[in-house]
Structure 1
Amino acid sequence: MTMTTIARRITGGVDTHLDVNVAAALDERGALLGIESFSTTAAGYRRLLHWLESFGTVELVGVEGTGSYGAGLTRHLLSREIAVVEVDRPNRQRRRLAGKSDPHDAVAAARAAQGGDATGLAKSRDGNVEAMRVLRVARFSARRSRTQAINQMRSLISTAPDELRAELRDLSIYKILTIASAYRYTGRTDVTTLTKLALRTLARRALSLEEEVKEIDRLLKALVNETAPELCAVDGVGTDVASAILVAAGDNPERLKSEATFAKLCGVSPLDASSGKQVRHRLNRSGDRQANSALWHIVFTRMVNDPRTQHYIERRMKDGRTKKEAVRCLKRYVSREVFAALPRSQFGLDNP
């Protein structure tokens, strides 16, 4: 009698680091098949996948840190049509009791993926949305540095010699930047001359950073309009808000199976805090805070120019809610509207 050999179904787990990835392989019964380390290079990613496939058919891989050290590996696995789920770092209490090691974390990642504890599909990070993310990083840095330079200028003006302080103290920041950036250095080393030199340096830095922000904004606007024209058409959504929401959803927003999933991702879904006879919900402080802020900006804009939003706020306040609580309710409703405008494959969703 001939017995047919059935290929094993493999679940992988990866603990990612800057220079090395530690992988573990489990079979369909949860038995540990092996642990191995691989370099964080394109060749290392190929060897890691080949190693997993040597045990059988790879069905799922749990990766710790798909948005940081595991981003490159995640892109490689997704390009080979292998499902990847995001694994949170191990529970601190368990780690304190059982100890911590890279092989142990890799096995824990594999078991979390296989056992269903890790269910969030990883972002693909291979399209326009990933380009928006890196541009937003540069934009945030430029805006923060510009603000820092301007604050330093204000501080220098407040302590500058009387003649220089009288010239600049009552001017708007734009006039200060224009005047200070045109100061000439005469080579003298007195306090007034060197204060002007410092102000000129900071002013030119602030103006340069402002140009960087404008250039990034132009690129972001083109990417957002190309990627999500329906989202841009939503009332209260501009380039900055749209890009923040798209970055939260990722290049593959079909991974978000329902509008409730998206609301939880944005941190606008209230959490059940009931106990005994007391039934209540509490504020959700988790989720993507930039996406949460983007939804707040939509609500705030509509509170100014949308009669329906104004009427809703008034009605909820008459019902005993505070204005802040009414805004939180509106953010949940807005998340539903925004979710419907995301660019996605409708066939990958439970709820359109």
Structure 2
Amino acid sequence: MIIIGIDPHKSSHTAVAVDAAGHKVGQRRFIVNSGTFGRLLHWCAQWPGRRFAVEGASGLGRSLAQQLAAAGEDVVDVPSTLSARARLLATGGDRKTDPADALHVAQVALFRTDLRRVTAEDQSTILRLLTERHDDLTGERTRIVNRLHAVLRDLLPGGAPTRLSAEKAATLMKGIRPATATDHCRRDIARDLLADLRRLDRQVKGNEAQMRDALAAARTSLTSLPGLGTVLAAKLVGHVGDISRFPTEHHFASYVGSAPLDASSGKRVRHRLNTGGNRALNSALHIIAVCQIRNDGRGREYYLRKISEGKTPAEARRALKRRLSNVVYRIMKRDQRVQLAAAA
């Protein structure tokens, strides 16, 4: 088996082929244009038994990885953190070049059997794109609202109330009577900001409608979990993708950062907070946990039980997040089994 490691860049891709012992047997640099994919496959045709390892197949290497997967090639995703560790262990004083990076990507794929296999984009990719767009829209909306608050503060005694909406802002602005040229300018800016806010509200509403349709097509039952609405369900499905890539719920918890890290030493057994993992999924679990703690139900009962056992509120909340990651994992596994049975 020949492993072909690829270090992708915007203007070029560097490929290095290694044999089963990790020794380099070929190297080539490809300029990125419309013929890159064809030239890569033509060069690799000399090794019928091959596997491609692309660094950052979910980022800069996404396009090439998807082309290879669509062509039926065996492709795995090598995180940049793993290739960086391989570079540190190699000789050469941690020199960083494109051929060296591609070599380390191939060597990681040669000795790691748990790398994520790249598959063709599906409904989960659509959901991830929609949630990322939702984050962009809501972030921009927050910025516009803050700016509108600042302008109205100088136009109205006491400024504008918190949780400002387009309707509230429009009502407040009806009573503004500018007395100076400066206030006239402020009012015009406030009108522009109000128009921007209304536009963003329409875009957010349309984005959420698209997410509901995409979730229906994905046939997930995640929204049955208390505290988990359309946006969070779309984020979970979009970021997780194929749940079968996690052998157990413990692997899933480690991926989302809800499982504590073992920090034992000698006879002392201890664990510490996991600040790694997928932070988007960790944030989603945090929001679900907070919603369940606020409302009556099994989540709040579990949280209060942990508090009665002597845990701090933060520790009890983290324990609930760990439990919720198990529940999310089981729901997604069950949905996958139902979908496979329906397709059989």
Taking a change above 3 Å as real, the CA distance of residues 108 and 170 of structure 1, as seen in their structure-2 partners, is closer
For residue 280 of structure 1, what is the aligned residue in structure 2?
270
Q: 1:196 aligns with which of 149, 168, 187?
A: 187
How far did 1:36 drift?
0.6
Partner secondary structure for residue 54 of structure 2? strand
How far did 1:55 drift?
2.6
Partner secondary structure for residue 35 of structure 1? strand
Partner secondary structure for residue 25 of structure 1? strand
Q: CA deviation digits over 1:21-70, x for unaligned, max 9?
A: 10110122222111111233453123223322313311x32211111110
How far did 1:189 drift?
8.6
Q: CA deviation digits over 1:3-27, x for unaligned, max 9?
A: xxxxxx2111110111211011012
Letter in 2 for 1:64: E
Q: How many residues align?
A: 332
Q: 2:315 aligns with which of 300, 306, 325?
A: 325
Distance (Å, rounded) in 2 between the aligned partners of 1:225 and 1:41: 37
Taking a change above 3 Å as real, the CA distance of residues 312 and 171 of structure 1, as seen in their structure-2 partners, is closer
Taking a change above 3 Å as real, the CA distance of residues 123 and 346 of structure 1, as seen in their structure-2 partners, is farther
Unpaired stretches in structure 1, ≥5 consecutive residues = 1-8
How far did 1:233 drift?
2.1
For residue 127 of structure 1, what is the aligned residue in structure 2?
122
For residue 334 of structure 1, what is the aligned residue in structure 2?
324
For residue 138 of structure 1, what is the aligned residue in structure 2?
133
Q: CA deviation digits over 1:257-288, x for unaligned, max 9?
A: 22222111111111110001110111111111
1:306-321 map, 5 Å: 306-321=296-311
Partner secondary structure for residue 62 of structure 1? strand
Q: CA deviation digits over 1:170-209, x for unaligned, max 9?
A: 697234432478799x9x9911221110000011101101
Name whichever of 150-159 and 46-55 sits farther off: 46-55
For residue 214 of structure 2, what is the aligned residue in structure 1?
223
Distance (Å, rounded) in 1 between the aligned partners of 2:259 and 2:3: 32
The answer to whether the Cα contact below 8 Å between 1:245 and 1:294 also exists between their aligned partners in 2 is yes
For residue 146 of structure 2, what is the aligned residue in structure 1?
151
Q: CA deviation digits over 1:128-176, x for unaligned, max 9?
A: 211122222222121111111111111112223xxxx149646972344
Distance (Å, rounded) in 2 between the aligned partners of 1:171 and 1:341: 38
For residue 5 of structure 2, what is the aligned residue in structure 1?
13
Q: 2:53 aligns with which of 62, 70, 74?
A: 62
The answer to whether the Cα contact below 8 Å between 1:11 and 1:25 also exists between their aligned partners in 2 is yes
Partner secondary structure for residue 274 of structure 2? coil
Partner secondary structure for residue 61 of structure 1? strand
Letter in 2 for 1:137: E
Taking a change above 3 Å as real, the CA distance of residues 147 and 85 of structure 1, as seen in their structure-2 partners, is closer
1:1-352 map, 5 Å: 9-41=1-33, 43-58=35-50, 60-79=51-70, 80-89=72-81, 90-91=84-85, 93=88, 97-116=93-112, 119-124=114-119, 126-160=121-155, 165-166=156-157, 169=160, 173-174=164-165, 175-179=167-171, 190-250=181-241, 252-342=242-332, 343-344=335-336
Letter in 1 for 2:96: K
Taking a change above 3 Å as real, the CA distance of residues 168 and 87 of structure 1, as seen in their structure-2 partners, is closer
Partner secondary structure for residue 49 of structure 1? helix
The answer to whether the Cα contact below 8 Å between 1:19 and 1:39 also exists between their aligned partners in 2 is yes
The answer to whether the Cα contact below 8 Å between 2:4 and 2:52 also exists between their aligned partners in 1 is yes
The answer to whether the Cα contact below 8 Å between 1:15 and 1:64 also exists between their aligned partners in 2 is yes
Distance (Å, rounded) in 2 between the aligned partners of 1:170 and 1:30: 64
Q: Percent identity?
A: 27
How far did 1:104 drift?
0.4
Please report the TM-score for the alignment, with normalisation by the length of structure 1: 0.85
How far did 1:305 drift?
3.0
Please report the TM-score for the alignment, with normalisation by the length of structure 2: 0.87
Partner secondary structure for residue 284 of structure 1? coil
CA RMSD of aligned residues (A): 2.8
Name whichever of 138-147 and 268-277 sits farther off: 138-147
The answer to whether the Cα contact below 8 Å between 1:61 and 1:82 also exists between their aligned partners in 2 is yes
